[in-house]
Amino acid sequence: MLRFILTRVSLIIPTFIGITLLAFFLIRLVPGDPIETLAGERGIDPARHEQLRKEYGFDQPILVQYGIYLSRVLQGDLGKSMITQEPVLSEFSALFPATIELALCAIIFALLLGLPAGIIAAIKRNSIFDHGVMGISLAGYSMPIFWWGLILILLFSVQFDLTPVSGRIDVLYYIEPITGFLLIDTLLSDEPEAFWSAVKHLILPTIVLGTVPLAVIARMTRSAMLEVLGEDYIRTAKAKGLSRFRIVALHALRNALIPVVTVIGLQIGVLFTGAILTETIFSWPGVGKWLIDAIFRRDYPVLQGGALLLGVVVMGVNLLVDLAYGLINPRIRHTR
């Protein structure tokens, strides 16, 4: 097991170097003076310009420059925002809980609906339910979620006036951030209505962000279940006279879930992509909206640092999924 963990962990090093190389070179493609871009300041006087040139190592060979950049990144120095002059890392960590909260709710929503739908579709193969689930999930998979969000706003906020249009919580409430997760923070505060306000604000973004993962999970669960239900040991279980429920819940599901776990892991990247669009539609104060705002403000340090951080987070989650996969499936662990 230790050997397995070490191999997997060592595999992410080249990926990490690759992502930093990408971030390092992309910022140099930005039109304009790279020093001003990197320093996050405009109209620097010549003396300071020269000093910054030295500091960033622009008088050094490009490899040394990269080395300087990499060591800064490893120390958590990702530059500072051109607009707010705040360090990129602290802005990111202040906004990231909002994105995680949204992403977690979306994946839970997708699992709660997707797993049962996939399992029932597989058991009742070729039934109307099966065709319905497959049709809906294909539509969900093809959904332009930025449009889906607008349509849900049109239906639930405009027509029925059930949910708020944007934001994370009603402006009436000020909640001291303790964990950064509003659902928890509002519960810790002494205003019960604040919690419901936060929940109401979460509903539409959760559905929008959860749609694509829901479609993928339902499809994947169905096909994994179908595969497993055709195995010999299921026939044996049937021959032993076990109840249908027992066969599905205890024998089939456990093996069918293995590929599903991988798919859920792969959905993390999709979730962050979707979060960028979802947060833009609902003015959700997370890192996705922050990145898009940075583009329009030409705040390149934020773009560079934020993209790098998101890339690293996705990489870390993929690694965890990989390790979890080895944990639940010994066959993976022992083949190198």
Q: Which residues bind another protein (CB under 8 A)?
A: 14-15, 18-19, 22, 26-27, 29-31, 138-139, 141-144, 146-148, 150-151, 153-154, 158, 165, 226-227, 229-230, 269-270, 272-273, 276-277, 280, 291-292, 295-296, 303, 307, 310-311, 314-315, 318
Q: How far apart are CA 37 and CA 42, in angstroms?
A: 8
Residue tagged 């190198």 (tokens): 336
The residue (of 114 and 288) whose beta carbon lies closer to another protein is: 288
Nearer to another protein, 144 or 330 (CB): 144
What 3-state DSSP class applies to 60?
Answer: coil
Compute the least distance from the CB of residue 321 to another protein, in Å: 12
Question: 166 and 286 in contact (C-beta within 8 Å)?
Answer: no
Residue 41 beta carbon to another protein: minimum distance, rounded to whole angstroms: 19
CB of 144 vs another protein, minimal distance in Å: 5
Question: Six-digit token pair at 247?
Answer: 């066969």
Residue 105 C-beta: closest distance to another protein, Å: 18
Helix (H, G, I), strand (E, B) or coil at 80: strand
Task: Please count the other Cβ atoms lying within 10 Å of the Cβ belonging to residue 303.
Answer: 24
Q: Which is nearer to another protein, 146 or 181 (CB)?
A: 146
Shortest separation between residue 73's beta carbon and another protein, angstroms: 16
Under a CB-based contact definition with an 8 Å cutoff, are residues 207 and 180 in contact?
no
How far apart, in whole angstroms, are the C-alpha atoms of residue 269 and residue 315?
9
Q: What is the token pair recorded at 92?
A: 């990111």
Nearer to another protein, 107 or 276 (CB): 276
Nearer to another protein, 135 or 192 (CB): 135
The DSSP line for 212-245 is HHHHHHHHHHHHHHHHHHTSHHHHHHHHTT--HH
Residue 133's contacts (CB-CB under 8 Å, 6 or more residues apart) are 117, 118, 120, 121, 218, 222
Nearer to another protein, 38 or 307 (CB): 307
Q: In whole angstroms, how close is the CB of 143 to another protein at the nearest point?
A: 6
Closest CA to 221 of 328, 105, 114: 114
- CB of residue 123 to another protein, shortest distance in Å: 12
Closer by beta carbon to another protein, 52 or else 143: 143
Question: Residue 91 Cβ, how far from another protein at the closest point, in Å?
Answer: 17
Question: Contact, 247 vs 237, CB < 8 A?
Answer: yes
DSSP state of 144: -
DSSP state letter for 167: S
Burial of 240 (C-beta count, 10 Å sphere; 0-12/13-18/19+) = exposed
| Nearest residue (CB) to another protein, 187 versus 200 | 200
Q: Of 140 and 195, which has the nearer Cβ to another protein?
A: 140
Alpha-carbon torsion (148, 154, 155, 158), positive or negative: positive
Q: How far is the CB of 290 from another protein (least distance, A)?
A: 12
